[in-house]
Amino acid sequence: MRLSEILTEDGIIPEVKGRDKEGVINELADGETSLDKRALVTGILKRERLGSTGIGHSIAIPHKNFRV
């Protein structure tokens, strides 16, 4: 499977205001309305401790399949 087959244009945020990992994660969580923001951010930060989703050059591909 190619990344271009699963990555959609609306899933790309070219410029975020956050300047550190937690700031960016909080900013991304602002756009998700169906989940509790605090639980979402906590879950993502917990997942990031297992291994970063960053791939370099200020690019990260967050995983959607984690439990909050």
Q: Which tens digits make up the pLDDT trace of 29-61?
A: 887 678 888 998 998 888 888 888 788 887 777
pLDDT exceeds cutoff 80 at 11: no
Domain boundaries, the chain: 3-60
pLDDT exceeds cutoff 70 at 63: no
pTM (global) more than 0.75: no
Q: In one letter, which amino acid is 54?
A: G
Task: Report how far apart the first and last C-alpha atoms of the chain are (Å, whole number).
Answer: 27
Q: Which residues are CB-neighbours of 37 under 8 A, at least 6 positions away?
A: 26, 29, 30
pLDDT exceeds cutoff 70 at 66: no
Q: Which helix (H) or strand (E) holds 15?
A: none
